[in-house]
Amino acid sequence: MAETRLIEISPVTRVEGHGKVTIHLDAEGRVDEARLHIVEFRGFERFIRGRLMWEVPVIVQRLCGICPVSHHLASAKAMDQIVGVDVLPPTAEKMRRLMHYGQVMQSHVLHFFHLSAPDLLFGFGAPAEKRNIFEVIRENPTLGLRAVQMRKFGQEIIEATAGKKIHGTGAIPGGINRNLPVEVRDRFLGQVEEMLVWAQDALALARGYVESHADMVAGFGTFPSSHMSLVREGDGALDLYHGRLRALDAGGAPIFDMVDYRDYHKHLIEDVRSWSYMKFPFIRALGAEDGWYRVGPLARMNTASFIDTPLANAAHGALRAFSGGLNHSTLANHWARMIEVVHCVEKIRELLQDPDLQGSDLVAKGERRFEGIGVIEAPRGNLIHHYRVDENDQVTFCNLIVSTTHNNEGMNRAVKAVAVQHLSSQPKITEGMLNHVEVAIRAYDPCLSCATHALGQMPLQVEIVDAAGAVIDRAGQCL
Amino acid sequence: MTDAFTFQIDGVEVTAQPGQTIMEAADAAGIYIPRLCDHEGLRHQGGCRVCTVKAGGRSVAACTQPAEAALEVENDTEARRRVRRDLVEMLFHGGNHLCPICEKSGNCELQAMAYRLEMTAPTRFPWLEPCRAVDASHPEIALDTNRCISCGRCIRASQDLDGKGVFGYVGRGIHRRVAVNGADLAHTEAAGADLAMGVCPVGCILRKGEGFSVPIGERVFDDGLIGHEIEAKR
């Protein structure tokens, strides 16, 4: 009797956090099921309860060491509402924006050069020992050095605005705790033009890859889906820090638009499944089966009407023209990501020339409230932080919907699509073939550690199977 | 000043006035003796023992031991540093001191002492991991006793300076801890202006809303090791 087989890719490499992929092959060697599993657990939603509200932006950023600024700012925006502040002083908002653009830039650069470039430069099936940043540096020292220096620039922007490169304290409820001294501004101004040139070179690299591999890209983990992000209120421009929610269906028609993100729960709902610590959000109006959607750089390129910086806007137009409508290609995320790097550097340059950054009005106050919802476009996509705080200033409720969680269904579909395409009915499964599956996951730049919070709802199931694969016992518990 | 006398700390001649403790004389001479429970303006307690020195061959608390003429004191020696580091490590193990998320980080004397004593890996003792709820009942003050090191500063300040007795010790031995004189802080005489609210060396007594308003770089110990102001007098 032919046997079924289970292939496990564990851990998935060159992503943030720990996860694995399981691929079930039937007796004929065809892919029956393929899933991305998140094998770590965080639980911030639970243990933040009882903490003091002003601690939250500093505590929750510990979710991640790659994009802590995103959690720092999303939670700070929620706490702004708790302290009754709807409009920050200009210095505070611009310092936060500067922090965020530095953050998105460095995170995207890390992902593109350090994590994905080895696949793109050497091929998905290249020997494993070659697929790493050190080989990128060895083969192209200039590119490797730029990758390091671009990250350094972004990290130093974060340090100047948050106090530390990782896990700073800049954003506080109602504002910011520092401004930008002139001498620091001038140091960045001396570097920003070079960064812009390098960002455009990186964009050309990513765009060139997608254009020169158009057929492969079109067939690699490509599937129609809805897309969602914040866009700027009024004109629908790309806005990574603030705006309103827009979701488009696969054809580009609005599902909802210009939604106040404080009403996110009226439009989004989270599903829980037995085999993952990650939740599965979906658009309420479309239901659990059809309501899944994607977020992230490519989703933002799809949802944004335009980009308010010239170089990035031109690049956005080029991607739109290439795609002929919404782009649904998993690998086109790389192109979109580099457009955002250009946008971030343009925004950093614009902000550095703004005298508001040297202002001294840093914090606003208002009438106390008891619920706050902060939403931001993190590097990996839309990020929702929702808190309730009692009259003693203690957190009583926390719900986090993280970019990678939004993309959960999309990543799983990409995994299965690529597994079917590259592994089904193969006489021999090679490591290079399996890397194709990882390439699909990497394109979403998932941060698995940020995304696992289903404590109290997540049943853990264990199945014992006999040699023929039949389940002979099953045990479960609710954590 | 005819009654002044001299003694030695680590071979350095120090002048003291009658009635001065070893620590008081050392402070005046610009010699820093580490301490956690002692605080300017409060009566000395000799509780934390971080200021332990060897004087006349005996281990004594420098904050309570009177200086004596011709006394020879060992302060900044490897043996003293090791004892102090052990004591500070045990304080970390006895509470839940999560510096990365504590608003007192950079202003915390326990953290600063750990840096000064080069405590790089607090893993030599069992973690007690107490489970203590935050008392945020008071409108101006929050208490996170997970971070309390039982130094008793708040107790002395409340009793001696504020005349209230808001804080006190309860329990014995390893279970001894600081508690409030009421069901929670809101049900005591505590007020935000109390001097007791400004003497906590760690992130236990917190003024509500201050949080992380002081940026990194401008915190008390961003400028240098704890005790550097005293040493600058030399």
Inspect the interface and report whether the beta carbons of B208 and A393 lie closer than 8 Å: yes
Torsion over CA: A316, A322, A326, A329 (sign):
negative
DSSP β-ladder status, B141-143 and B5-9: unpaired
Q: What is the DSSP string of A78-122?
A: HHHHHTT-SS--HHHHHHHHHHHHHHHHHHHHIIIIIIIHHHHHH
Rounded to whole angstroms, how far apart are CA atoms A37 and A17?
11
Whether residue B160 sits in one domain with residue B120: yes
pLDDT at A458: 33
Whether residue B138 sits in one domain with residue B212: yes
Whether residue B110 sits in one domain with residue B127: yes
Give B209's contacts in chain A (Cβ within 8 Å). 54, 393
**Percent of chain B whose pLDDT exceeds 90:** 90
**Residue B55 domain-assigned?**
yes
**Residue B233 domain-assigned?**
no
Range of the domain at B126: 85-220
Whether residue B47 sits in one domain with residue B101: no
Q: Read off the pLDDT of residues A248-303 as tens digits, 9 standing for 90 and up.
A: 999 999 999 999 999 999 999 988 777 677 788 999 999 988 999 999 999 999 99
Whether residue B103 sits in one domain with residue B190: yes
**Residue B70 domain-assigned?**
yes
Whether residue B90 sits in one domain with residue B65: no
Q: Domain boundary residue among B23, B41, B76?
A: B76
**Residue B157 domain-assigned?**
yes
**Residue B232 domain-assigned?**
no
Q: Domain boundary residue among B76, B104, B133?
A: B76
**In this structure, are residues A448 and A19 in contact, taking their beta carbons and an 8 Å threshold?**
yes
Nearest to B38 by CA among B226, B208, B210: B226
Determine the distance in angstroms separating the CA of B34 from the nearest CA of chain A, rounded to an integer. Answer: 28
- Number of helices (H), then strands (E), belonging to chain A: the values are 17, 16
For chain B, the residue count is 234
Give B214's contacts in chain A (Cβ within 8 Å). 177
Rounded to whole angstroms, how far apart are CA atoms A442 and A445?
5
**In this structure, are residues A299 and A381 in contact, taking their beta carbons and an 8 Å threshold?**
yes
pLDDT at A459: 34
Nearest CA in chain A to B211: A54
Rounded to whole angstroms, how far apart are CA atoms A348 and A98?
6
Strands across the sheet with B12-16, in order?
B12-16, B5-9, B72-74, B52-55, B58-61
Q: Domain boundary residue among B21, B50, B76?
A: B76
Q: How far is CA B179 from CA A41, A178, A281, B129, B150, in A?
A: 35, 36, 45, 18, 10
pLDDT at A37: 81
Q: Read off the pLDDT of residues A302-329 as tens digits, 9 standing for 90 and up.
A: 999 999 999 999 999 999 999 999 999 9
The residue with greater pLDDT, B76 or A46, is B76
Whether residue B159 sits in one domain with residue B113: yes
Rounded to whole angstroms, how far apart are CA atoms B94 and B147?
9
Whether residue B71 sits in one domain with residue B94: no
Nearest to B158 by CA among B203, B205, B220: B205
Helix (H) or strand (E) holding B167: strand B167-170
Inspect the interface and report whether the beta carbons of B211 and A52 lie closer than 8 Å: yes
**Which of A59, A164, A393 lies nearest to residue B216, judging by beta carbons?**
A164
Inspect the interface and report whether the beta carbons of B216 and A393 lie closer than 8 Å: no
Residue with the two structure tokens 């979701």: A247
Whether residue B19 sits in one domain with residue B100: no
- Number of helices (H), then strands (E), belonging to chain B: the values are 5, 9
pLDDT at A471: 55
Q: Read off the pLDDT of residues A134-178 as tens digits, 9 standing for 90 and up.
A: 999 999 999 999 999 999 999 999 999 999 999 999 999 999 999
Give B203's contacts in chain A (Cβ within 8 Å). none
Determine the distance in angstroms separating the CA of A334 from the nearest CA of chain B, rounded to an integer. Answer: 34
Which residues touch A278 (CB under 8 Å, ≥6 apart)?
A: A38, A404, A405, A408, A448, A451, A452, A454
**Residue B227 domain-assigned?**
no
Which residues 174-213 of A are in CB contact (within 8 Å) with B? 177-178
Rounded to whole angstroms, how far apart are CA atoms B20 and A35?
73
Residue with the two structure tokens 């620039």: A153
- Report ipTM for this prediction: 0.93
Whether residue B130 sits in one domain with residue B70: no
Whether residue B105 sits in one domain with residue B34: no
Mutation choice for B interface testing from A64, A73, A165, A177 by most B CBs within 10 A: A177
Q: Read off the pLDDT of residues A320-354 as tens digits, 9 standing for 90 and up.
A: 999 999 999 999 999 999 999 999 999 999 999 99
Above 60 in pLDDT, residue A455? no
**Residue B102 domain-assigned?**
yes
The residue with greater pLDDT, B45 or A31, is B45
Coil, strand or helix at A71: helix
Which residues touch A320 (CB under 8 Å, ≥6 apart)?
A: A301, A327
Above 70 in pLDDT, residue A464? no
Q: What is the set of domains in chain A, with CATH numbers? A: 5-39+421-478 (no CATH), 44-420 (1.10.645.10)
DSSP state of A12: P
Whether residue B108 sits in one domain with residue B204: yes
Inspect the interface and report whether the beta carbons of A52 and B215 lie closer than 8 Å: no
Helix (H) or strand (E) holding A243: none
Torsion over CA: B195, B200, B205, B208 (sign):
positive
**Residue B56 domain-assigned?**
yes
Determine the straight-line distance between the first and last CA of chain B, rounded to whole angstroms: 21
Tally of domains in chain B: 2
Provide the CATH number for the domain around residue B57.
3.10.20.740
Provide the CATH number for the domain around residue B141.
3.30.70.20
Rounded to whole angstroms, how far apart are CA atoms B227 and B232?
9
Report yes or no: A166 at the B interface, CB cutoff 8 Å. Answer: no
| φ, ψ at A354 (rounded to 5°) | -95, 120
Rounded to whole angstroms, how far apart are CA atoms A114 and A129?
14
